[in-house]
Structure 1
Amino acid sequence: MSAPVRFPTKIAVLLRDDLLVWQRLNVTAFLVSGLATAAPEVIGDPYADADDITYLPMFRQPVLVFEGSKELLTAAHTRALTREVPMSIFTSDLFTTGHDADNRAAVRAVRTENLDLVGLAVHGPRNAVDKIFKGATMHP
């Protein structure tokens, strides 16, 4: 077994602590898809099994999932903006939309300080991500 790899960056998701289980899963899936498109360097090589069946590549480093209050999400969002760390967001309005165009329109209709965030994801330097998510706890 090889030694553990310590990545210089961190991929992290922050979910609001009052979400239902299905919402947590849904929000996490949507959020990390945004990171994959913005930072292609975090994607590894395709997988293959012993029968040479190939599978899609995935992130090459762990994704850490945290939770916190609505206020903590707002603070983390502000810190990510201040540090200019790219992020994906999910607002409560997106639970009522049915496709990408409606999702984008729902976010576009709300001023930054009024976004009702239920999740956000970031990829950036380890120390910056730690500061952005300060106060969050690991998802159980």
Structure 2
Amino acid sequence: MFDTKIALIVRNDLAIWQRLNVVAFLASGIAASAQEVMGKPYIDSNGHQYGKMLGQPMMVFEGDLPSLQKVHKKAIDQELTIIPYIYAMFSTGNDDANRQVFLAEDANHLNLVGLGLRGPKKAVDKAIKGLTLHK
């Protein structure tokens, strides 16, 4: 089927709107960093062309902060594509501010609320081992 896997992990103590927001941002990060997984535009029966979506599934998992931090370390070790989202990014209003608060965060103890991962299927599976699918 696919040699690669995409996993989105969101923290389980967030409000629903926050979870959905984080997942949307993580998915956009995966799409931006892996142009080769983009599908073709959709065309309806009237000939109207729509935008593209990723051409492979993304699985959404959940976990607590220690679980996300553990996955983050494993993902670095596995050299996966990693899209991070930290709690401080909820308080910013733009992408530049997001990068500033991310840079200010302790890299060894990120207050993660979400991670997007992409890489070889076995490596992603190793990084997310023990997580459960989002309910």
Q: TM-score range by the shorter chain?
A: over 0.9
Equivalence for 1:130: 125
Structure 1: gaps (5+ residues):
1-5
Which one of 66, 91, 96 corresponds to residue 71 of structure 1?
66
**Shift >2 Å, 4+ stretches:** none
Q: Does 2:34 match 1:39?
A: yes
Which one of 92, 97, 102 corresponds to residue 97 of structure 2?
102
Equivalence for 2:46: 51
Which one of 11, 17, 26 corresponds to residue 12 of structure 2?
17
Structure 2: gaps (5+ residues):
none
Name the SS for the 1:30 alignment partner: helix
How many matched pairs? Answer: 135
Q: What is the rounded CA distance, in whole Å, between the counterparts of 1:45 and 1:139 in structure 2?
A: 28
Kindly report the root-mean-square deviation, in angstroms, between the aligned alpha carbons of the 2 structures. Answer: 0.7
Quick one: percent identity of the two aligned structures? 45
Deviation at 1:8, TM superposition (A): 1.1
* TM-score when normalising by structure 1: 0.94
